[in-house]
Amino acid sequence: MILGRIVGTVVSTRKDVRLEGKKLLIVKPISPEGADESGYLIAVDTVDSGFRETVLVVTGSSARNAAECKDRPVDAAIVGIVAEVNLDALHEAELAAARKK
């Protein structure tokens, strides 16, 4: 799974009929702390997420098995809206040390 933030939408005037009515969103991968990572994904929204929300994205066969994506030409699907991300104390300390370097 990929942790990401919704940063935009994609509007398509013509697309595969199996994608009609599906919302396509641009997702920016982020770290658990919320920092942007490289790249972008275009994903089908299965959970009615909105702009700037933190979401969980699955890709490949997992995306094709997501709700509303079965038998559709989908490579990435938004399957969850994230309320909170918590790291254990050990990882928090490692991140703090890495930031100081």
CA distance 83 to 80: 9
The model's pTM: 0.86
Place of tokens 């997420």: 49
Q: Per-residue pLDDT tens for 56-91?
A: 999 999 998 888 888 889 999 999 999 999 888 777
CATH architecture of the domain with range 2-100: Beta Barrel (2.40)
Mean pLDDT, the chain, rounded, equals: 91
Q: Which residues contact 61 (CB under 8 A, 6 or more apart)?
A: none
pLDDT at 101: 67
pLDDT at 64: 87
pLDDT at 13: 87
Contact 73, 19 (CB under 8 A): yes
Angle ∠(81,64,16) on CA atoms, nearest 5: 105
pLDDT greater than 80 at residue 96: no
pLDDT greater than 70 at residue 23: yes
